[in-house]
A and B are shown apart, each in its own frame.
Chain A
Amino acid sequence: MSTVIETTNLNKVYESGMISSQEVHALKDMNLAIQTGEIFGYLGPNGSGKTTTIKMLLSLIFPSSGEIKILGRSDIASSEVKGKIGYLPEGAYYPDFLKGEEILRFYGQMYGLSGADLESRIDKTLEIVTMTHARKRLLKGYSKGMRQRIGLAQALLSDPQILILDEPTTGLDPLARKEIRDILANLRDEGKTLMISSHELQEVELISDRVGIIYKGVMQVQGTLDELLTDRETTIEVENMAAETEQALQGKGIKVEDVTGPNALLHIPAAMSLYDAIDECKALDVSVTSVAPKRETLEELFVRTVGSASQAEGVA
């Protein structure tokens, strides 16, 4: 597996104020490494630096310092590199007066495609995003989901190795989200590398191989979901629990919740093994009806990471 997108100590500083200029660090020493064929979820609250990073990767803005390499090359503004990247910006406008295939023809010409080559790429791309049926319709008749799929199609026109998608599922209904998610998973399976910036944490968790969380321009954590979602907990559903048993269990460090008559839900602390917990239940004559291991969600990791970064900032 090789690194497709790599940033080293990437910084972006904006000067603000006309008279007394102040420096605003939009990105601080960003080190990012995205591998071939993975879906990388790039997460962070509004204004954390996600779009700044993406814009720098696309040469829409320029770094104050640091280095960017895409496909091992530093000349990221060159046609050769740009031709291998597909980009879907957040909330982009596509002209209503054009038909689906016309907008793709327009974008295809940006890659220097023409004639039969262009038409065959349009056919293939429309097929990938399942929009062949609507190719002759004007964009003004498209739903939001269809527009997003056409947006995705324009990013896929050159059959790029890398796809950078900014909020690809925001504002879509659950069905449209699922469709987009399936398309993205298929693209990953074809060997493409995807970088997805999103606020939709559940969506990202469902399809990402690795995630990075950025806060105030600093990458807080980065890794696979298995590496990052470490805060695990097991719950046990029990019955035949007497009132005095509850106190005995709590005395052993087991948290008792949702007590409904003789039934309850027990949260096993990380320090205690599941077998020990079951033995404790047996000893207290409590029947175990089910055991459910529970992993921390991406949302919980996000809240925990951003929360502690925010607290650390407050202390500093």
Chain B
Amino acid sequence: MTFKQSLLGTWAISVYTWREGMRKKTLIGFLLLSLLVILGSTFMTAFMTEASIGENLQASADTKIIKDICVSAISVFGILITIFISASVVPTEVENRVIYTILSKPVRRFQYLLGKFIGVQLIVIINLVLMTALFFVALLIKEGVMPTLLLWSALLTYFQFLIVSAFTFAISCLSSSPVMPTIGGLFIYITGNLTEYLKDVSNRAASGEGFIDSILANVAKWLYDILPNLRSFSLRNEILYLPANDPPTDVMIPNLIAYGLAYGLAGYLLAFWLFRRREL
């Protein structure tokens, strides 16, 4: 089989994964809920304009509320969709035996996983684009300027999702049900957002003199080094406090993209390493 024919098979798996994934009721539920929250926040601030505070102050407070709710909605529902879909695509196919019909054909495991992974990324990107588009329109109407900062934020949010998705996907390659990888994905997301605390713990423990302190300092340092720092992908404060058409400040976007890609690739390679000899 030629390289081009292999690519065709991989792409077919990706498209099938995307089409099947977009029909999952849980995913549709999360997406609808997020869109409702984003729409609802605009509606809620319309009520608040009747409050008796200064007009300028009121407009600024309204916008901040919309931004706060929408950024949170994209972040929470986006990560739930990412974890849910990354955790379920492989175990579901093992359970319903579709995987047998695919891997019994001239499809290598690497190729199969790549197709599934690309399919998952298509789902994550489409959902993120839908949520961001709605938020974008709401901000455009409210502020009257192009909210370009939001686009930068969405780009970085995707790379944050990519990291969580890749490692959740890797765990799912070992599992026969989506439960364990979902828990694993949530764990990665939460710890990835708390890595700054690990640095703190490491520094404090290192200043102690006991044996336990030394071990704790090393473990915390090791975890800090190995775990992805997901918080650095967030432009939440910039979106809340800067004008919507400002460029992002103090953020090295190319570095973060490279960082996200490196962790995404590591997650995918881990998935392949775990899956290559898995008994199905």
Residues of A within 8 A of B (CB): 55, 58-62, 79-80, 82-83, 85, 87, 89-95, 97, 106-107, 109-112, 114, 151, 154-155, 158, 164
The 3 closest A-B pairs by CB, nearest first: A112-B5, A79-B106, A93-B96
A112 touches B2 (CB 8 A): yes
Check if B25 is an interface residue, CB within 8 A of chain A. no
B12 proximity list for chain A (CB < 8 A): 106, 109-110
Check if B215 is an interface residue, CB within 8 A of chain A. no
A93 proximity list for chain B (CB < 8 A): 96-98
> Looking at chain A's contact residues, is the secondary structure mostly helix, strand, loop, or mixed?
loop
Nearest-Cβ distance from residue B106 to partner chain A, whole angstroms: 4
Nearest-Cβ distance from residue B236 to partner chain A, whole angstroms: 37
- Which one of A60, A106, A112, A151 contacts B104 once the chains associate, using CB atoms below 8 Å? A60
A87–B12 alpha-carbon span in the complex (Å):
19
> Looking at chain B's contact residues, is the secondary structure mostly helix, strand, loop, or mixed?
helix
Q: Which residues of chain B (43-100) have a CB below 8 Å from chain A?
A: 96-98, 100
B100 proximity list for chain A (CB < 8 A): 55, 58, 60, 87, 89, 92
A134–B278 alpha-carbon span in the complex (Å):
37
A94 proximity list for chain B (CB < 8 A): 98
Check if B6 is an interface residue, CB within 8 A of chain A. yes
A90–B96 alpha-carbon span in the complex (Å):
10
A60 with B279: in contact, given A92-B100, A112-B8 (CB under 8 Å)? Answer: yes
Check if B103 is an interface residue, CB within 8 A of chain A. yes
A92 touches B96 (CB 8 A): yes
Residues of B within 8 A of A (CB): 1-2, 4-6, 8-9, 11-13, 16, 19-20, 23, 96-98, 100-108, 277, 279-280
A109 with B106: in contact, given A58-B100, A83-B1, A95-B20 (CB under 8 Å)? Answer: no
B279 touches A58 (CB 8 A): no
Nearest-Cβ distance from residue B107 to partner chain A, whole angstroms: 5
User: Which residue of B has the minimal Cβ distance to A93?
Assistant: B96
B23 proximity list for chain A (CB < 8 A): 97
List 11 extra interface pairs beyond A60-B104, A82-B105, A110-B9, CB under 8 A: A55-B100, A79-B1, A79-B108, A82-B106, A85-B104, A91-B97, A92-B96, A92-B101, A97-B19, A109-B8, A112-B1
A60 proximity list for chain B (CB < 8 A): 100, 103-104, 279-280
A154 proximity list for chain B (CB < 8 A): 101
A91–B97 alpha-carbon span in the complex (Å):
8
B13 proximity list for chain A (CB < 8 A): 110
A155–B107 alpha-carbon span in the complex (Å):
14
A80–B277 alpha-carbon span in the complex (Å):
20
A80 proximity list for chain B (CB < 8 A): 106
A187–B98 alpha-carbon span in the complex (Å):
24
User: Which residue of B has the minimal Cβ distance to A79?
Assistant: B106
A79–B16 alpha-carbon span in the complex (Å):
21
A109–B4 alpha-carbon span in the complex (Å):
11
B19 proximity list for chain A (CB < 8 A): 95, 97
A83 touches B8 (CB 8 A): no
B106 touches A83 (CB 8 A): yes
B104 proximity list for chain A (CB < 8 A): 58, 60, 82, 85, 87, 89, 164
- Which one of B2, B5, B16, B277 contacts A62 once the chains associate, using CB atoms below 8 Å? B277
- Which one of B4, B20, B106 contacts A110 once the chains associate, using CB atoms below 8 Å? B106
User: Which residue of A has the minimal Cβ distance to B277?
Assistant: A62
B106 proximity list for chain A (CB < 8 A): 79-80, 82-83, 110-112
Nearest-Cβ distance from residue B276 to partner chain A, whole angstroms: 11
B20 proximity list for chain A (CB < 8 A): 95, 97
Nearest-Cβ distance from residue A121 to partner chain B, whole angstroms: 13
User: Which residue of B has the minimal Cβ distance to A154?
Assistant: B101
A92–B98 alpha-carbon span in the complex (Å):
6
A60–B103 alpha-carbon span in the complex (Å):
7
Give me 22 A-to-B residue pairs in the complex whose CB atoms sit less than 8 angstroms apart, sorted by A's number: A61-B280, A62-B279, A79-B106, A82-B106, A87-B104, A89-B101, A89-B104, A92-B96, A92-B100, A93-B98, A97-B20, A106-B16, A107-B101, A109-B9, A110-B9, A110-B12, A110-B102, A111-B106, A112-B6, A112-B8, A155-B101, A164-B104
A246–B19 alpha-carbon span in the complex (Å):
74
A111 proximity list for chain B (CB < 8 A): 1, 5, 9, 105-106
A107–B103 alpha-carbon span in the complex (Å):
11
User: Which residue of A has the minimal Cβ distance to B98?
Assistant: A93
Nearest-Cβ distance from residue B67 to partner chain A, whole angstroms: 37
A312–B264 alpha-carbon span in the complex (Å):
56
Nearest-Cβ distance from residue A174 to partner chain B, whole angstroms: 25
B97 touches A89 (CB 8 A): yes
User: Which residue of A has the minimal Cβ distance to B7?
Assistant: A112
A89–B101 alpha-carbon span in the complex (Å):
7
Nearest-Cβ distance from residue B97 to partner chain A, whole angstroms: 5
A62 proximity list for chain B (CB < 8 A): 277, 279
A55 proximity list for chain B (CB < 8 A): 100, 280
